[in-house]
Chain A
Amino acid sequence: GESVGLHLPTLSVQEGDNSIINCAYSNSASDYFIWYKQESGKGPQFIIDIRSNMDKRQGQRVTVLLNKTVKHLSLQIAATQPGDSAVYFCAENPPGETGANSKLTFGKGITLSVRP
């Protein structure tokens, strides 16, 4: 079936550099996407979300970009810090599930490692 996936399993960046984490989704009907961060030994933590009627959304040091043409989602982290080291997941609302607290389909996850 259709699923959310990630291009790269690991990403290593230098502290202070910008990080870009990519996610491909296959279901063009998905209309809501979320990025989660999971630190070792903890549960996933919400970072930022975006609806399909937007192509960009900014938060504090993070930006999510959505390209519906190629079904691609990315998370940009500015001035990456050691505390950003974690596993990052993208997630989508499957078709028919739109609405607050509907179920999400998560991607496999990508590890971000920040070099000091």
Chain B
Amino acid sequence: DARVTQTPRHKVTEMGQEVTMRCQPILGHNTVFWYRQTMMQGLELLAYFRNRAPLDDSGMPKDRFSAEMPDATLATLKIQPSEPRDSAVYFCASGSDPTGTLFNEQFFGPGTRLTVL
């Protein structure tokens, strides 16, 4: 049963600390998305990659957030320095487009719940 995995599942840190969240997309998927979910804003797209290349990171605060895909099996989202307002659940999702169709299903991971004190 192929799934997107995310680590850690929970993270509590203090303001100013660096936070790194990791995602392993489903094997063979060529697109990876990072979302942030809060009660106030709902699900917000932070960044996404296709074939490891960043396509859009307009939703991400550039001064403190960075997203990378070191290889096809790993996506990372870093926050440095972290702030209390970054507290949220961060989801990674992956998808594939082997036939060039317009099917747009994204498979979500379980999320990382981040609390910045």
Determine if B101 and A44 form an interchain contact, defined as CB atoms under 8 angstroms apart.
no
User: Nearest Cβ distance between residue B18 and chain A, in whole angstroms?
Assistant: 24
Chain A contact residues: helix, strand, loop or mixed: loop
**A103-B91 contact given A32-B104, A45-B108, A51-B102, CB 8 Å threshold:** no
Determine the distance from Cα of A46 to Cα of B26 in the docked complex, in whole angstroms: 15
Is B31 on the interface with A (CB-CB < 8 A)? yes
Identify the stretch in A10-18, A54-62, A78-86, A93-101 within 8 Å (CB) of chain B at 4 or more residues: A93-101
Determine the distance from Cα of A43 to Cα of B95 in the docked complex, in whole angstroms: 14
Taking a contact as CB atoms closer than 8 A, the residue among A41, A43, A46 that contacts B105 in the complex is A46
* A 32-59 to B, binary, CB cutoff 8 A, 1 in contact else 0: 1010000001111110010100000000
Determine if A43 and B102 form an interchain contact, defined as CB atoms under 8 angstroms apart.
no
How many residues of B sit at the interface, in one of the four size bands? 20 to 34
Taking a contact as CB atoms closer than 8 A, the residue among B50, B93, B101 that contacts A43 in the complex is B93
Identify the stretch in A21-29, A63-71, A106-114 within 8 Å (CB) of chain B at 4 or more residues: A106-114
Determine if A101 and B110 form an interchain contact, defined as CB atoms under 8 angstroms apart.
no
Determine the distance from Cα of A15 to Cα of B103 in the docked complex, in whole angstroms: 32
Tell me the number of A-to-B contacts counted with CB atoms below 8 Å.
65
Is B56 on the interface with A (CB-CB < 8 A)? yes
Q: From B97, B101, B108, name the one whose CB has the most chain A CB atoms within 10 angstroms.
A: B108
**A103-B108 contact given A43-B91, A43-B93, A51-B102, CB 8 Å threshold:** no
Determine if A49 and B43 form an interchain contact, defined as CB atoms under 8 angstroms apart.
no
How many residues of A sit at the interface, in one of the four size bands? 20 to 34
User: Nearest Cβ distance between residue A42 and chain B, in whole angstroms?
Assistant: 6
Determine if A103 and B33 form an interchain contact, defined as CB atoms under 8 angstroms apart.
yes
Determine if A32 and B110 form an interchain contact, defined as CB atoms under 8 angstroms apart.
no
User: Nearest Cβ distance between residue A91 and chain B, in whole angstroms?
Assistant: 8
User: Nearest Cβ distance between residue B33 and chain A, in whole angstroms?
Assistant: 7
Taking a contact as CB atoms closer than 8 A, the residue among A99, A100, A106 that contacts B42 in the complex is A106
Chain B residues, Cβ within 8 Å of A101? 30-31, 50, 95-97, 104, 106
Chain B residues, Cβ within 8 Å of A88? none
Chain B residues, Cβ within 8 Å of A108? 42
Is A104 on the interface with B (CB-CB < 8 A)? yes
Kindly identify, within residues 77 to 111 of chain B, every residue whose CB is under 8 Å from any CB belonging to chain A: 91, 93, 95-97, 100-111
